[in-house]
């Protein structure tokens, strides 16, 4: 008799446990791949530059996140184009972190970057600051279109003061 009572109580609690489930998933992080076109400012600025890279973010509290990114920047029109590897550590804030499909997740970011040449004997690299912002349009629960602007400022070995980049890519969570 005791087993029957316990089994019946358990069966009656199952619907209550299902109602207690959160239908709005809480994602702990997201990753992204981006491609950007931009320009540099300064004494010997290049008018055309492109960048490709990817990274990820983990959320600490509400929309506050910490992330890392790695990529490559290529500038100049001549056959002797120059390349630089980039790596960044960023803090970000996502205003619509749990956005559903069809919704926007605007964000701002900023942090420290290391910019280093990829050519032989091109030096050790240089520290810089970066900042920017944009939005992710979530097309599905786990995939979105990322549009953003990013400025890498103050890399000492570059012949310009800022690298301004307009970037587009995909975000996944």
State residue 40's pLDDT score.
77
From 161, 85, 160, select the one nearest 119 (Cα to Cα). Answer: 85
Range of the domain at 72: 31-172
Tens of pLDDT, residue by residue, the chain (173 residues): 677 666 776 666 666 555 555 555 667 889 999 999 988 777 656 677 888 999 999 999 888 999 999 998 887 655 456 777 889 999 999 998 778 888 999 999 999 988 876 555 555 667 888 999 999 999 998 999 999 999 888 765 555 578 889 999 999 98
In a domain, 6, yes or no: no
pTM, two decimals, is 0.77
The answer as to whether 113 is a domain residue is yes
**Domain count within the chain:** 1
Q: What CATH code is carried by the domain that includes residue 130?
A: 2.40.160.20
Asked, for residue 3, whether it belongs to a domain, the answer is no
Which string of DSSP letters, residue by residue, matches 24-49?
S---SEEEEEEEEEEEEESTT--S-E
Does the residue 2 lie in any domain? no
5 within a domain of the structure (yes/no): no
Q: Where are the beta strands (DSSP E) in the chain?
A: 29-41, 49-61, 64-75, 82-94, 104-117, 126-138, 143-153, 162-172
C-alpha distances in Å from residue 100, one per residue of 65, 103, 110: 19, 6, 25
In a domain, 1, yes or no: no
């Amino acid at each position: 008799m005791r087993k029957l009572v316990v089994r019946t109580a358990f069966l009656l609690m199952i619907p209550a446990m299902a109602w207690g489930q959160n239908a709005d998933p809480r994602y702990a992080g997201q990753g992204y791949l981006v491609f950007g076109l931009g320009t540099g400012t300064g004494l010997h600025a290049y008018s055309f530059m492109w960048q490709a890279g990817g990274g990820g973010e983990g959320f600490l509290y509400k929309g506050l996140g910490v992330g890392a990114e790695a990529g490559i920047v290529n500038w100049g029109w001549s056959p002797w184009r120059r390349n630089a590897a980039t790596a960044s550590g960023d803090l970000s804030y996502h205003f619509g972190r749990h956005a559903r499909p069809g919704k926007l997740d605007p964000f701002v970011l900023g942090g420290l970057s290391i910019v280093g040449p990829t050519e032989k004997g091109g030096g050790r690299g240089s520290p810089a600051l970066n900042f920017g912002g944009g939005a992710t349009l979530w097309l599905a629960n786990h995939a979105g279109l990322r549009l953003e602007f990013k400025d890498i400022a103050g890399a000492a070995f570059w012949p310009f003061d800022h690298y301004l980049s307009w970037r587009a890519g995909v975000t996944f969570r």
